[in-house]
Amino acid sequence: MCGIVGYFGFRRADEVLVSALKRLEYRGYDSWGIAIKTSKNKIVVYKRTGAIGDISEFELCDGCVGIGHTRWATHGKPSNVNAHPHTDCEGNIAVVHNGIISNFQRLRERLEGEGHNFASETDTEVIPHLIEKYCKEGLDYENAVMNTIKDLEGSYAFVSIKGDEDIMIACRYKSPLILGIGDGDFFFASDVTAILEYTNRVIYLEDGDIVIVSRDGYRIINGGVKVERSIETVPWSLREAEKGGYEHFMLKEIHENPRVIEDTLIEYLRGDEISIDVSFAVGVSDIVFVACGSSYHASLVGKYVIESLADIPVRVEYASEFNYHDSPLSRSLVIGITQSGETADTLEALRKAKRFGAKTLAITNVLGSTVTRIVDYVLYTRAGPEISVCATKTFIAQLMVLYIIALKLSTMPKSELRDFLDKLRRLPNKVRSILDEEASIRETAESLSNYENLMYIGRAIGYPIALEGALKMKEISYIHAEGYPAGELKHGPFALLGKSMPIIACVIRDNTYDIMLSNVKEVKARESPVIAIADKEDIEVEKFVDEVIRVPAVDAILTPVTYSVALQLLAYYTARKRGCEIDKPRHLAKSVTVE
């Protein structure tokens, strides 16, 4: 959840690190810190709680080697002391770490028994102390780090510097870490957006990699032997990771939805041919989706779409639940959806799927992310970097890939397929027209902003739309919002209905239409204000509700795209009216790398 960076070169390290950390802030941000090796070979550490800000109080910043960290607390509350970097007893070795050292308590007790004094409550602090211990026992810095990682259990990406050594050492095991290759300088980062300003040439490090960067270049060692890793050119530009005139990244990213849909279609369609290799589906009896958050909601849409178009049984599980029971999977295809490619529960679910003999496929937005090394097959979404914590364009991109998979697996006649593809191609313009009319959604949002509770309801494919709409609303506006299958309301939630509990009803003109309208009448009868989201050709719905958010008409199966974009805007403008932070909601992080 934390973000780490390292810089080794000729520029002022403090400036590089702070700018890189600002770009990583979305990974976690209750505190931050940097450590610089000064020209006098001293390590100076500056760390504090709160957002990454100016470094004016930090005087000794003339070094060109340093490490930085933005923290999302796991072990120990957010505080200056618990913020990284952490150092050894003498303050000569500094470390930033992302991950969890699961055996830290035992290691700490052992080290304390040997006279090491600890300053923080963190698991990370054992790392500099272990390096110090091995150095004192006579090993050189590099070998001391190698010995240290033999002691560590859990997951880590860490970068370490030592005052009296002109090298930087980084290690990766089960937490993301890349090495950026600049022009005479080197960067480490949890993800590429942090360093795009300086270089787009990166190495995606593998588990077990130890990188030693010196004035002569870099070496990568794995399992005690030197290894070569290919240098990739990142296709993202810095511009894509900037706000581009929008007030928030979230709004910019919602506005990128039409482009994202187009890019996905360009990627996976060659005329009317779908250009994905579906060998992952050969011989499978069923599909199981594992995912978290918005990716879980995309999976629920995937179930509906694949079962309707391709006639294969599909189930969907929260990755965090899937990991705790045995599952018959030997003939299954397990699909993990994860925009970041780093969500710990999803990674673990896919590892389990492999252990149980399933074929595995990942749908992810991040090239070289950890998930891509775990699974048998990968399909990329083409959303570009998503900075706002709240998933918007990556969710829409996931839906697009799911339509493509379902169509490829379906046996529908060619003419029907062509028709469907035409409808997909029309989606970008449909979404553009929603964006063109965002002012009316904004008005509705502003009228919602004084409520503290909202209920989103839907049926069939409308149910995951309701769940995702409610998730967007709660995570950025802090209004308590629930998504519910409309038919379940009578089994409890009815007790909550009344003037202070507006209902957002996802009304879709399919076989659920009449029953949804009955449900709407039932909640109206209990005095809940009702806002429907419905298509422009639905002339009935407005007779039964207080307000209608209109979207262009599409086939029911495509409503997750149009309705979700409108609900993204609804959440955005509600949060904005409430003065919320939006891109960095409290307590949340974009990439959840702890289970």
Q: Where do contacts with ligand G6P occur on this chain (CB under 6 A)?
A: 292-295, 338-340, 343, 346, 389-391, 588, 590, 592
Q: How far is the CB of 400 from ligand G6P (least distance, A)?
A: 15
CB neighbour burial string for 292-329, b if at least 16 within 10 angstroms, e if fewer: bbbbbbbbbbbbbbbeebbebebebbbbbebbeeebeb
Of 46 and 296, nearer to ligand G6P (C-beta) is 296
Of 339 and 512, nearer to ligand G6P (C-beta) is 339
Q: Which two tokens stand for residue 431?
A: 């979404």
Q: Which two tokens stand for residue 566?
A: 């409108």
Q: Which two tokens stand for residue 174?
A: 């089960």
Specify the amino acid at residue 414. Answer: K
Burial class (CB in 10 A: 0-12, 13-18, 19+), 271: exposed
DSSP E strands in 376-507: the ranges are: 377-380, 453-458, 480-485, 503-506
Of 85 and 336, nearer to ligand G6P (C-beta) is 336
Residue number of the CB atom closest to ligand G6P: 293
Give the whole-angstrom CA distance, residue 374 versus residue 9: 33
Q: Does residue 590 carry a catalytic annotation?
A: yes
Q: How far is the CB of 49 from ligand G6P (least distance, A)?
A: 21
Paired sense of beta strands 530-535 and 503-506, if any:
parallel
The 3-state secondary structure of 97-154 reads EEEEECCHHHHHHHHHHCCCCCCCCCCCCHHHHHHHHHHHCCCCHHHHHHHHHHHCCE
Under 8 Å between Cβ of 547 and 442 = no
Q: How far is the CB of 535 from ligand G6P (least distance, A)?
A: 26
Of 100 and 107, nearer to ligand G6P (C-beta) is 100
Give the whole-angstrom CA distance, residue 181 versus residue 229: 12
Q: How far is the CB of 560 from ligand G6P (least distance, A)?
A: 15
Give the whole-angstrom CA distance, residue 343 versus residue 206: 17
Catalytic residue among 133, 174, 252, 590: 590
Of 292 and 421, nearer to ligand G6P (C-beta) is 292
Of 148 and 593, nearer to ligand G6P (C-beta) is 593
Catalytic residue among 2, 64, 171, 506: 2
Q: How far is the CB of 1 from ligand G6P (least distance, A)?
A: 9
Give the whole-angstrom CA distance, residue 283 versus residue 275: 20
DSSP 1: -
Q: Does residue 40 carry a catalytic annotation?
A: no
Q: How far is the CB of 239 from ligand G6P (least distance, A)?
A: 22
Give the whole-angstrom CA distance, residue 476 versus residue 588: 10
Residues assigned a catalytic role: 2, 590
